[in-house]
Structure 1
Amino acid sequence: METSWLVLAGALLLSFLALRRHARNRRLPPGPPAVPLFGNLLWLRNSTSDVEPLLLELFKRYGPVVTLRMGSRLAIFVSDRRLAHAALVGAGAVTIANRPKAATSTLLGVSDNIITSADYGPVWRLLRRNLVAETLHPSRVRLFAPARAWVRGVLLDKLRQGGADGGAPGDVMEAFRYTMFCLLVLMCFGERLDEAAVRAIEESERAWLLHIARQMNVFFFFPSITKHVFHGRLQTARALRRRQMELFVPLINARREYKRQLKEGQAPTSETTFRHSYVDTLLDITLPEEGHRPLTDDEIVTLCSEFLTAGTDTTSTGLQWIMAELVKNPAVQESLHAEIMGACGDGAAEEVSEEAVQHMPYLKAVILEGLRKHPPGHFVLPHKAAEDMDVGGYLIPKGATVNFMVAEMGRDGSEWERPMEFAPERFMEGGDGAGVDMTGTKGIRMMPFGVGRRICAGLSIAMLHLEYFVANMVREFEWKEAPGHEVEFEEKREFTTVMKKPLRPLLVPRRSS
């Protein structure tokens, strides 16, 4: 009898110790001191809009998983690629596939029915499947080849104008951003608009995004109070949203009319009108969970804004960093030019075709190296845990925001040889990056487009655009460092991570035409 009591007591003690150990293993990741409701005290001297330098210091102090508190929001950041793979691709991938609610939806009433913000569920799957199958599918992408050829001409003309008449070299980022936006506007609305119309849409989008990025973070803290204290910021946001509606809705209605004409067998009324557009697909969508209702104009405007934003700044930023590296590494540029000329013959053709770039391994290596060293986004879009989960032995509680350090993974010295050197050869046969999996399915080595359930739907078209425009720019010009405008690789956080000192190269024409 006494032995039985001892066995029972021992079992209870072991259970108690196991529970204590489990509770200890399930603690939140470490982080700096915080107070209830306000969050970390460090926000008294640091901005939430430029958190990356702060995080790099915190990782050194606390390890690869760090907790920050921004008001009532719990945010967890992961810098280790193996932990990121376990969370985003492993057994808990669905658990972390939701998105946190944005201030634009909770305070401004802007629809959350967009691909980047919708929770993982039927609406998100419907919208993403529509984008991938109806606009980003290779057969659809080929329909826009004339649009890319037109934009290539616009881009080269703008580059020729920079520094013309002996003036200072132009800021090529402005040319990249404008021409990429032209292309996305055409793909979105199916119409080749003039420069004034494109500029109006571009300015509207930029003003909206800047305001959301720089002025709305204050609502992380005591939103029930700050929405009254900072009411002016909300009024400005609503005015910017009305401007978007004023510009977008007429273009959406024009596609409604165009679709009606096609249905009735009428010919298009304008030679600048494309037969297919992203808006066309949105006009055909109905939401089964809501009685098969069509999308509202508000929802379509938000989806169009997402489409324009997602493909413009990321691609133009990628182009800026890649061309800056080619300026700074003339031997790499000449190797790339030799490959281009070998594929295009004597250069008599008007362009480096999209078909040709598919057979240029060194070009692809240059693009991959640019994305590894300089990913346009140093974070993915934030994830939200749908239920309690474990990452590296730490508890990620339901509702917590989780993000991943994209740039740190691509620059990890334990994974890449000479990580801060621009060496496209690493992606050629025998290099330490040969055969890298950009989707991260088997393991994460670099993740400029994210990985897992919420991987960027535009990965393939982004690679096409980068390869096509880089090839054509290198064929057209020798990109050289201009005296007084030396290339510097210091970074600056905007919507993406851009060059703090804009790229202003000397462009020497390679062809007499």
Structure 2
Amino acid sequence: MDSTTLVMVVISILFVFLYHVKSFFIRYFSNRLPPGPKPKPIFGNIFDLGEKPHRSFANLAKIFGPLISLKLGNVTTVVVSSSYVAEEMFLKNDQSFANRTIPDSVRAGNHDKLSMSWLPISPQWRNLRKISAVQLLSTQRLDASQALRQAKVSQLHAYVQDCSKKLQPVNIGRAAFTTSLNLLSNTFFSIELASHESSTSQEFKQLMWNIMEEIGRPNYADYFPILGYIDPFGIRRRLASYFDELIVVFQNIICERQNIRSSDDSSAKHTNDVLDTLLNLYDKNELSMDEINHLLVDIFNAGTDTTASTLEWTMTELIKNPKSMIICQNEIEQALGKGSLSIQESDISKLPYLQAIMKETLRLHPPTVFLLPRKADSDVELCGYVVPKHAQVLVNLWAIGRDPKVWENPEVFSPERFLDCEIDLKGQDFELLPFGAGRRICPGLNLAYRMLNLMLATLLHNYNWKLEDGMTLNDLDMDEKFGITLQKVKPLQVVPIPRY
């Protein structure tokens, strides 16, 4: 046998060997995928999603276990539905799951390349994260802006007081949204973007919900990426329009501020607010204007709609469970005295039952039903199964919060379960992850929690609440509409009755 023939034989044997090794590993990893429903040809498990995927996935987890795999079109998707799987994911494999699967809609306006929420772990992401954590949402800045939050909550109280005098119902979600919007706009821009008496806040609220809904909407372009070229349902086009609408508002404010900063007029107002901080970074070429625009989109979107929705769910649960409301009102009265209209952030630490109410609401109604989708950067072993490279990973917070293996009577609203309980919200207790965990935990966690407790304490201390005439507790609608957040289908409208 000559050398050429020998080489060809060796190459052939090696080729066959590698082919069989590859086939073995394909079968091995396929067999080690988490269990799940059998996919249908072409479409896979798309039709298993239903109108409320969080509930559909929770039901599948009851059949196949807390870690399931599905084939959504061409995309392998793994869903985490228990705290112990989430713990292994975040503690042992956070780096492997740190990047995002990008929904086709988020490519609108290059948002995926500019948004801290969607960027991959990179120097750009680290820079935006550092700016947010240190200069925008740090404990020091939040402490320094306590008086501002107090003023916005006082405005909320004045609005509710006026409704009480007129015996008018309060739309809780809208009132909370206006308060949150004005808090952010004052903190960032030193101006108010809405008032309780105008329709402006409702227009903003609808815009924010439209953004959340389009990002969260099931989209065939995500399941069959080739469809992204044609955007068959117009989701990306609509979202681009919503982003543009919001950015126009920001740019008008930014241009006016830049004119003031460049003015030689000594009487020009110097605010030293967050916008000034961002423009200082822009002047130093540490941030681009596109990054500023999309950072503001992220913060205003996450900091208004989710806060408003959470407070609305909290008040709805308390209307349904009046004993819990009375216990909390008594706690506030004992801690602060009767008729004390102004509640300070420093008072919240004296109100463990109020904080327990908020945790219980976040357990049952997390601000986002799924954490933003993660992507496996390599084949990752998780709880004895393999999550294959490029798989999309969804953490079903709604299912984790209602896991009967962790929570006694999980469907029952019971704040008492959090009394004398060490479970916190900061991403270390995997039974309760409303703001996520790991390196991509929500940077606005502390601001959101401060505002929610402060608004709730103000509403409960000063008022009793009743349904509109002719309504009973049985008429209270608990239905939800699916997006990145779960909003009530029918807004909560209740009548405030002064307590003092």
Shorter-chain TM-score category?
0.7 to 0.9
Q: Is the 8 A contact 1:485 1:505 kept in 2?
A: no
Give the 3-state SS of the residue equivalent to 2:465 in structure 1: strand
Segments of structure 1 that go 5 or more residues without pairing to the other structure are 1-15
State the superposition RMSD in angstroms: 3.1
CA distance in 2, matches of 1:321, 1:232: 31
Alignment of 1:370-385 (within 5 A): 370-385=361-376
Letter aligned with residue 479 of structure 1: W
Identical aligned pairs, as a percentage? 28
Residue 469 (structure 1) aligns with: 455
1:40 is matched with which residue: 30, 44, 49?
A: 44
C-alpha deviation, 1:174, in angstroms: 1.7
Alignment partner for residue 438 of structure 1, among 404, 420, 425?
425
Structure 2 partner of 1:310:
302
Match of 1:283 among 276, 279, 282: 279
Verify the 8 A CA contact 2:45 2:72 in the aligned structure 1: no
Partner of 2:16: none
The aligned residue for residue 394 of structure 1 is 385
Structure-to-structure mapping, 1:185-224, within 5 angstroms: 185-195=185-195, 201-214=204-217, 217-224=219-226
> Cα offset for 1:308?
0.5
Rounded Cα–Cα distance in structure 1 between residues aligned with 2:290 and 2:322: 48
Structure 2 residue 34 is the aligned partner of structure 1 residue 29: yes
What SS is found at the alignment partner of 1:28? coil
* Counterpart position of 2:6: none
What's the CA shift for 1:41? 5.2
Cα deviation for residue 255 of structure 1 reads 3.6
Distance in 1 between residues matched to 2:369 and 2:445, nearest whole Å? 16
The CA distance in 2 between the partners of 1:286 and 1:297, in whole Å, is: 7
Which segments of structure 1 move beyond 6 Å, counting only runs of 4 or more? 19-22
Residue by residue, what CA displacement relative to the aligned partner does 1:466-485 show, whole Å, maximum 9, x if unpaired? Answer: 11111111111012344415
Match of 2:57 in 1: 55
Q: What residue number does 1:325 align with? A: 317
Aligned amino acid, residue 62 of structure 2: K
Over residues 255-291 of structure 1, what are the superposed CA-to-partner deviations in whole Å (9 max), with x where a residue is unaligned?
Answer: 4345557xx894553xxx85322x333334479xxxx
Taking the aligned partners of 1:266 and 1:318, their CA distance within structure 2 comes to: 44
In the alignment, what sits opposite 1:182?
A: 182
Contact 1:339–1:360 (8 Å) recurs in 2: yes
Q: Which residue, out of 298, 309, 329, partners 1:337?
A: 329
CA distance in 1, matches of 2:406, 2:210: 39
Q: What are the Cα deviations for residues 440-499 of structure 1, in whole angstroms up to 9, with x where unaligned?
A: 43x522111111221111222221111111111111101234441533434332441233
Q: Residues of 1 paired with 2:354 and 2:45: CA distance?
A: 47
Which residue number in structure 2 is paired with residue 154 of structure 1?
A: 155
- CA distance 1:111–1:401, shift in 2 (3 Å): closer
CA distance in 2, matches of 1:178, 1:462: 14
Q: 1:402 to 1:236 in 2, by over 3 A?
A: closer
Distance 1:233 1:56, change over 3 A: closer
Once the 2 structures are TM-superposed, how far is the Cα of residue 371 of structure 1 from its aligned partner?
1.4
Asked if the contact 1:105–1:112 (Cα under 8 Å) also holds between the matched residues in 2, the reply is no
Instruction: Trace 1:354-365 onto structure 2 (pairs within 5 A).
Output: 354-365=345-356
Greater shift after overlay, 27-36 or 380-389? 27-36
Q: Deviations over 1:320-353 (max 9, x none)?
A: 1221222222222222112212222342x44111
TM-score, structure 2 as length reference: 0.84
Q: 1:385 to 1:107 in 2, by over 3 A?
A: same
Alignment partners' CA distance in 2, 1:296 and 1:21? 44
Q: Is the 8 A contact 1:201 1:247 kept in 2?
A: no
* Match in the other structure for 1:6: none
SS at match of 1:377: coil
| Aligned residue identity for 1:369 | E
**Matched residue of 1:67: which SS?**
strand
Using the alignment, how far apart are the partners of 1:260 and 1:394 within structure 2? 59
SS in 2 for 1:66: strand
Pick the aligned partner of 1:298 from 290, 295, 298: 290
- Check conservation: 2:211, 2:242, Cα contact below 8 A: yes
Look up the match of 1:65.
67
| Structure 1 counterpart of 2:370, one-letter code | F
Does the Cα contact within 8 Å between 2:107 and 2:236 map onto a contact in 1? no
Q: Is the 8 A contact 1:73 1:401 kept in 2?
A: yes
Higher relative contact order (CA 8 A, sep 6+): 2
AA at the equivalent of 2:352:
P
Paired with 2:309 and 2:194, the residues of 1 have a C-alpha distance of 24
C-alpha change, 1:384 and 1:265, in structure 2 (3 Å) is: farther
Q: Could you tell me how far 1:226 is from its partner in structure 2?
A: 5.6
The question of 1:498 aligning with 2:500 is answered no
Cα distance in structure 2, aligned partners of 1:246 and 1:154: 27
**C-alpha distance 158-220 of structure 1, shift in aligned 2 (>3 A):** same
Give, in whole Å, the separation in 2 of the partners of 1:296 and 1:251: 16
Change (3 A) 1:108 1:352: closer
Q: Does 1:137 align with 2:123?
A: no
Mapped contact 1:111–1:298 kept (Cα < 8 A): no
Where does residue 110 of structure 2 map in the other structure? 109
Q: TM-score, normalised by structure 1?
A: 0.82
Mean Cα displacement is larger for which, 358-367 or 298-307? 358-367
Letter in 1 for 2:272: R
Counterpart for residue 13 of structure 2:
none
1:104-140, CA deviations, whole angstroms, 9 ceiling, x for partnerless residues? 4546433523221111232222211211111222221
In 2 relative to 1, CA 418–312 (structure 1 residues): closer, same or farther, beyond 3 Å? same
Q: Which residue in 2 is equivalent to 1:425? A: 416
Cα separation, 2, equivalents of 1:76 and 1:185: 38
**CA 1:492 to 1:203, structure 2 compared with 1: closer, same or farther past 3 Å?**
closer
